[in-house]
């Protein structure tokens, strides 16, 4: 006799464990309880995790057989050279490109989607995407090729990429190599021929699932092992990834924004008005360029820098960068440092992960969103001015407005879901936003925030 959805969730270990094992969000679990139905695509993961039988699952028996059937790993679809295996056991066959995955080393992480229509190379070198496999909803990927100047970091951020169409040949005067050659050099695998609309709907409705991307050189797939790998991956909650993408020692930065001439070249800051220490939780190069262009001499320090390490540089202000992972995990070492800077009354500007860490240092809490914000078309409302800015974002966690202490105000909200997008603590001379104001890739609506930070340092001086 089929069990109730509540019984099955209890067998999985409760709501948190059920969400992790089936790769869904809290909203999906709520719908399960409300409807009394668990979609058949999740049955395989449930049976594997609980030891229940097919007869325990609610639904049509014929549908159940189709959902739980394991295809023959040798019977590959014609032309398939790569596969994406989701945590629910579903297989998404396609054509591999870029770097091959080594035997036993398929890429496993959280599958997300990015809605940007440009800037794929910036996205693929954004450290904020560490631990994730990026689905591009825009179909034409690769047409502008690749070049060294569009890289946001030395190493790639995400684990791999998913596209609808095959990578096209480069057709742009700035290209120095094809995207496929660049991906091989960066050890990044990709898969094309995927129905990215269907995959995006899957992520949108069920939350970001675990995925395993496999593109073996010999064309052999161990599907059972890949499914086990997908089920076993714990998810991003509790993961401190900032430490893995941060610099390991301090360095100076003086490049400003690009100047257009016969060739695209960065400018140099030769007459800075202020000295800013930027804490690198996964900083992008164009963020540092924006700080330099706004009149700052920038010293970058590792994510693990203490308050003493930061203040030793005698900064006029402190910048908290973007980055990947769970802010609650990174907070263990970042929050004491930020609180030390707050006590020293240095102006602070934080973005993305830095925003979440500043809020935590001020006494707030963070939580994982059912649906993250990723792309270059995210509308955010400035509550002080009433203006709406189109922003570039990549985050799966958010600050809980209700947990903000007295003296800390909400300054920006998402027009997609109403979640927090910015805070200010005037008494501590600190503010932060959830998005990426440097807009690489993305619109430049929020460049003014760097000048707001400089104005705050002017007042302090």
The reply to whether omega before 48 is within 30° of 0 (cis) is: no
**C-beta of residue 432 within 8 angstroms of C-beta of residue 355:** yes
Catalytic residue among 274, 355, 373, 436: 436
Structure token pair of residue 149:
């100047």
Q: Cα separation of 159 and 22, whole Å?
A: 21
Q: Cα separation of 435 and 373, whole Å?
A: 9
Q: Does residue 421 have an active-site annotation?
A: no
Structure token pair of residue 28:
């999906």
Q: What are phi and psi of 366, to 5 degrees?
A: -120, 165
Structure token pair of residue 194:
């995927």
Q: Does residue 308 have an active-site annotation?
A: no
Tell the burial category of 234 from Cβ atoms under 10 Å away from its Cβ (0-12, 13-18, 19+): exposed
Nearest Cα residue to 427 out of 343, 367, 350: 343
Q: Cα separation of 411 and 425, whole Å?
A: 10
Structure token pair of residue 329:
């995990």
Catalytic residue among 122, 152, 389, 438: 438
Catalytic residue among 112, 290, 296, 352: 352
The owner of tokens 């960066």 is: 186
Structure token pair of residue 230:
């997908």
Nearest Cα residue to 293 out of 99, 453, 445, 156: 453
Q: Does residue 436 have an active-site annotation?
A: yes
Enumerate the active-site residues. 352, 436, 438
């Amino acid at each position: 006799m089929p069990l109730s959805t509540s019984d099955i969730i209890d067998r999985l270990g409760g709501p948190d464990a059920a969400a992790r094992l089936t790769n869904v969000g809290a909203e999906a679990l709520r719908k399960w309880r409300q409807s009394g139905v668990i979609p058949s695509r999740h049955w395989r993961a449930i049976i594997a995790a609980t030891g229940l039988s097919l007869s325990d699952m609610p639904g049509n028996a014929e549908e159940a057989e189709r959902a739980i059937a394991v295809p023959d790993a040798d019977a590959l679809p014609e032309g398939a050279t790569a596969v994406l295996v989701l945590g629910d056991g579903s297989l998404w066959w396609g054509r591999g490109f870029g770097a091959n995955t080594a035997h036993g080393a398929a890429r496993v992480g959280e599958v997300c989607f990015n809605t940007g229509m440009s800037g794929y190379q910036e996205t693929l070198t954004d450290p904020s995407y560490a631990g994730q496999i990026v689905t591009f909803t825009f179909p034409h990927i690769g047409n502008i090729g690749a070049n060294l100047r569009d890289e946001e970091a030395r190493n790639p951020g995400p684990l791999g990429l998913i596209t609808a169409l095959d990578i096209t040949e480069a057709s742009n005067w700035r290209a120095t190599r094809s995207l496929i050659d660049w991906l091989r050099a960066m050890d990044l695998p990709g898969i094309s021929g995927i129905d990215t609309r269907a995959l995006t709907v899957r992520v949108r409705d069920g939350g970001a699932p675990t995925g395993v991307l496999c593109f073996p050189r010999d064309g052999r797939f161990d599907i059972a092992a890949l499914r086990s790998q997908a089920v076993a991956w714990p998810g991003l909650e509790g993961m401190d990834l900032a430490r893995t993408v941060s610099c390991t020692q301090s360095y100076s930065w003086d490049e400003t924004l690009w100047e257009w001439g016969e060739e695209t070249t960065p400018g140099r800051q030769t007459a800075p008005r202020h000295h800013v220490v930027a804490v690198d939780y996964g900083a992008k190069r164009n963020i540092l360029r924006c700080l330099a262009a706004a009149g700052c001499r920038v010293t970058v320090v590792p994510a693990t820098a203490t308050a003493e390490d930061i203040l030793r540089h005698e900064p006029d202000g402190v910048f908290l960068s973007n980055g990947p992972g769970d802010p609650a995990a990174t907070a263990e070492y970042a929050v004491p440092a930020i609180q030390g800077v707050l006590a020293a009354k240095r102006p602070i500007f934080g973005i993305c992960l830095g925003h979440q860490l500043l809020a935590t240092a001020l006494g707030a809490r963070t939580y994982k969103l059912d649906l993250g914000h990723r792309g270059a078309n995210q509308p955010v409302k400035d509550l002080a001015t009433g203006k709406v800015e189109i922003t570039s974002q990549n985050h799966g966690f958010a600050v809980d407005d209700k947990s903000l202490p007295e003296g800390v105000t909400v300054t920006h909200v998402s027009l997609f879901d109403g979640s927090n997008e910015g805070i200010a603590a005037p008494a501590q001379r600190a503010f932060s936003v959830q998005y990426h104001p440097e807009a690489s890739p993305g619109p430049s609506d929020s460049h003014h925030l760097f000048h707001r930070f400089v104005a705050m340092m002017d007042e302090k001086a």
